[in-house]
Structure 1
Amino acid sequence: MSFASPFPDVEIPNVSVFESLFGDIDAADLDRVALIDVLGDVQVTYRELISRIEAGAGALAARGVGVGDVVGLLAPNSSVFAVAFHAILRAGATATTINALFTAKDIVKQLTDSHAKMLITVTPLLPQALEAAREVGLPDADVVVLDGEGQAATGHPNAADLLESGDPAPDVEFDPTTHLAVLPYSSGTTGNPKGVMLTHRNLVANVAQIRPLQGMVADDKIIAILPFFHIYGMTVLLNAALHARASLVIMPRFDLAEFLGSIQKYGVTYGFIAPPVAVALAKHPLIDEYDLSSLHTIMSGAAPLDSELGNAVAARLNLQMIQGYGMSELSPVSHCMPADGGLAAFGEQAPLSSCGWPVPNSVNKIVDPGSGDEIDIPAEGLSEPGELWVQGPNVMPGYLGNEEATASTIDADGFLHTGDMARVDAAGRVFIVDRLKELIKYKGYQVPPAELEALLLTHPKIADTAVIGVNDDEGEEIPKAFVVVQHGAELTEAEVIDFVAGQVAPYKKVRQVEFIDAIPKSTAGKILRKDLRALSV
């Protein structure tokens, strides 16, 4: 049985991303601070931001970039990234944002698949950017080095060249419902990374869907550690925060001391994080050295947040902890708790073990992956687990040039099959169990790695952990835990195994343990299980 969002539908204007964010800006908001670069303490007002986006769009148009073109953007977070990103969209082109950790080989794949005609980057990433650009045939004049100065950047236009060209922003026409705004790359529910086609309407819709739930206001100062090149940072920070006329406090990379110092210095009120940061906020002694009292809300996403961990953060910092869920193919937010956890709307807060309710204008199904039968919402308690399907205006049109993968992900009724196992309760709240393809199958039983990881993180001597399935000597898949021990603590494999065994069903027990210095994770905070599997070969 399908179930709709309990929140009222929101109006989704049929406009471009630029028009949605800045078309109706109030004159009183123009001199508000939009962006703050922590490095250098550079502040950009909304008036300056809009002017630079228009100038950048004009310069791109003068260089032949427009509707139908794709521009690669390879850079860490900064105010200049924000300008470049929105200038690409304002010019009518499509931005393919590239992971700042990519090698030249990775960049080549994305530039080739997306058919990018220009690459925008920064000096620290120039060696791999140039290697990739030359391999795909991009001339130096089509490699923009935003902070370009000196010999290394000779022959490449820079931000000043774009912003000071004096070319007017172009008049562009396109249908926001079909015109691609961005092409992030995601492994999605199948195979190798694929270009996720997201239209202007997809991005505009998702901001409209999450704004009434997040409760961001113009006086909020929001820490931006999530990478803008990832869809989570792109939508909930770069777009939603600007739509709210809030101020983004931008960090180019995550460093715990700088993160805490920036919260204290700028009076940050709202944080968006991934679970690894929550681990630090709950357990790291450095937290106590900073005044974090300005924070009123933290939202976690990108990976499941254990409720005990989330509640520990909320108690330690005296704030509201909420959680959301999504994926690149959903622009990305499909589920979210309201800023108060749901208290005002439903009379009780959603448990942090859930990811909240479906966002407005969306419909869900939970489907048994074996039989294909829809699972009903229970009268009480939790439903049986099944694959989560999502329908709404934030669902991508498909994967670039990959009809087979698109057809296997989005059905004829427009439901996107997420590949995630979930349950739903009587109140319509959704609980993510684990990735369908990451479930460990032990003697016919399904063991969710996330459940074991959440349990292990409650151990006072464990700083971080990840669980994968490996084969034992008899070829049986078993749960193996990788464990990072708290600094100064001592822990044995037997202690870890016994700790878990005392709290789970016998088939869920951890049966192997390997101690490791750090859990490999993506820039968005997702555990890189393929790297752990490589260690176990």
Structure 2
Amino acid sequence: MSHVTVLYNDGRIEEEIVDFRGYTPVSENSRCIIPTHHDKMEQIREIVASIHRGDIPLLYDTTMKSSDEKAHRLRDLPLSEHLQSACVLFFTSGTSGNPIGVLKGSEHLVSECEAQIEWLQHYKIEQCLVTVPFFHIYGYLFGLAIPLSMGLDIVTKEDFLPQEILKLCQQKPTLCITNPVFIRSMIRLRDDIDLRDTLFICSSGPLESEEALKFEQKYSTRLVQLYGSSETGGIAIREGGESLWNPLNGVVIESDEGILSVRSRYLSRYVFDDEFRPLSNPFQTTDIIEKVGEQFKIVGRASELVKIGGKRLSMVEIETFLETMEGIEEALGFVEYHPSSLRGETLTLYLVGDSSKIDKTVLKKALHDQFGGIHIESKIIMVDALAKTALGKKIRHKVIT
């Protein structure tokens, strides 16, 4: 049993003992349930109670209209044969504009929990601090399923500030479940605090090796990055400033002409879009990799590759490079193609930061030098913020808030 504490923005504290008794098989009386509470303690109660009853919780970001529409459509369908082997369904974040429902059976979740606990148990941990939402598979596994299985205390909050995370991590040996947005925010804080008894786990987007190493050195702590997706479950981990990913136990990775292919016992059998469709195992992702023995390096995403001046480049790599420059906090880029024009392409960059510190001529030259002498017409637009999901991922089809 785990002691769960929820801290609220108005100063209230709610505490409860949660006894997780495993997954009850789906029966003819089972239903698809959409957890309706925004209160975090109520969310936990409702998710756990649904699983104990044998109902199937549909977990997603309720602020995303497209996800909400698909979840309600699925909830109103008869309990099909596809759902009879499921115990939880996660909707992807829909950053591309088309969220899909990913079915997970107990065998997927239990086996992945066991694989993650296999390496986690080497760390001394007494509490799990959860800064991410429970409706994402990462937040569900590491914020609920794994700490409940390990009997860890769970601490979470409505909305975190970076300073609050550091303060809570000082209280006892902590497993902190977070994302790159918080890690980067904590790097920028002036105070250096000794957090050698804390293990940070970061997912929902890769940090650069230099960022991870800087964070570890600043706080005398350890940072493990997790790589995976809703469909595949966890694929690999890497520690500190490492650049190569190490596949999890039970995962076999292959390179099919540079595209990552995953064979895994955590891989879902079915997904739901407008109808159910099966997933193949091995499953081909959209990530481009370089294999180094049994390890691998992520080069970019096929869906986020752009062609500039005849060169194929990763837009994510361009954005990450820009975010290392002075004055730029965040970047989002798009390439428009104009076949009839002389140059043929325009790179539009949306930047968040201090415009007084950004010299557009210097920025364009830096891009030119960094990416092999690319020549492209570029347009730079300063914005107050980029649209993001609850896990901090950029929403590419939405552009800005």
TM range (shorter): 0.7 to 0.9
Alpha-carbon distance in structure 1 between the residues aligned to 2:175 and 2:370: 35
2:188 corresponds, among 264, 283, 292, to 283
**Are 1:453 and 2:319 an aligned pair?**
yes
Normalising by structure 1, we get a TM-score of 0.65
**Are 1:96 and 2:65 an aligned pair?**
no
Contact 2:305 2:312 in 1 (8 A): yes
Quickly say closer, same or farther: Cα 1:423–1:218, change in 2 above 3 A. same
Q: Secondary structure at the match of 2:107?
A: helix
Deviation at 1:107, TM superposition (A): 2.4
Deviation at 1:112, TM superposition (A): 1.2
Alpha-carbon distance in structure 2 between the residues aligned to 1:257 and 1:107: 33
1:110 corresponds, among 49, 53, 71, to 71
Q: Give the alignment of 1:206-285 within 5 angstroms.
A: 206-215=112-121, 219-264=125-170, 266-267=171-172, 269-285=174-190
Q: Secondary structure at the match of 1:234?
A: helix
**Are 1:85 and 2:47 an aligned pair?**
yes
Correspondence for 1:490: 357
Contact 2:59 2:135 in 1 (8 A): yes
Correspondence for 1:422: 289
Alpha-carbon distance in structure 1 between the residues aligned to 2:162 and 2:36: 24
| Aligned residue pair count | 391
Quickly say closer, same or farther: Cα 1:501–1:316, change in 2 above 3 A. farther
Unaligned segments of structure 2, at least 5 residues: none
Q: Secondary structure at the match of 2:181?
A: helix
Contact 2:260 2:288 in 1 (8 A): yes
Alpha-carbon distance in structure 1 between the residues aligned to 2:298 and 2:290: 7
Quickly say closer, same or farther: Cα 1:100–1:257, change in 2 above 3 A. farther
Report percent identity of matched pairs: 18
1:441 corresponds, among 301, 307, 312, to 307
> Larger % of strand: which?
2
1:317 corresponds, among 203, 219, 235, to 219
Alpha-carbon distance in structure 1 between the residues aligned to 2:208 and 2:127: 26
Correspondence for 2:250: 361
Alpha-carbon distance in structure 1 between the residues aligned to 2:394 and 2:382: 16
**Are 1:519 and 2:391 an aligned pair?**
no
Deviation at 1:218, TM superposition (A): 7.1
Aligned residues: CA RMSD: 3.3
Alpha-carbon distance in structure 2 between the residues aligned to 1:74 and 1:423: 43
Normalising by structure 2, we get a TM-score of 0.85
Contact 2:109 2:266 in 1 (8 A): yes
Quickly say closer, same or farther: Cα 1:214–1:432, change in 2 above 3 A. farther
Q: Secondary structure at the match of 1:223?
A: strand
**Are 1:499 and 2:366 an aligned pair?**
yes
Quickly say closer, same or farther: Cα 1:466–1:213, change in 2 above 3 A. farther
**Are 1:481 and 2:379 an aligned pair?**
no
Q: Secondary structure at the match of 1:209?
A: helix
Deviation at 1:485, TM superposition (A): 1.6
**Are 1:49 and 2:18 an aligned pair?**
yes
CA distances 1:24-60 after superposition (whole Å, capped 9, x unpaired): xxxxxx4xx531112223333xxx3128x89xx9xxx
Alpha-carbon distance in structure 1 between the residues aligned to 2:197 and 2:342: 51
Contact 1:98 1:229 in 2 (8 A): yes
Alpha-carbon distance in structure 1 between the residues aligned to 2:125 and 2:237: 22
**Are 1:530 and 2:397 an aligned pair?**
yes
Q: Secondary structure at the match of 2:332?
A: strand
Contact 1:202 1:396 in 2 (8 A): yes
Alpha-carbon distance in structure 2 between the residues aligned to 1:254 and 1:187: 21
> Larger % of helix: which?
1
Alpha-carbon distance in structure 1 between the residues aligned to 2:344 and 2:145: 47
Deviation at 1:85, TM superposition (A): 0.5
Q: Secondary structure at the match of 2:255?
A: strand
CA distances 1:478-508 after superposition (whole Å, capped 9, x unpaired): 544322225x952232232233333331238
2:209 corresponds, among 300, 307, 311, to 307
Alpha-carbon distance in structure 2 between the residues aligned to 1:353 and 1:85: 36
Work out which of the two has the higher radius of gyration on C-alpha atoms and give 1 or 2: 1
Correspondence for 1:396: 268
- Specify the code of the residue in structure 2 equivalent to 1:270: L
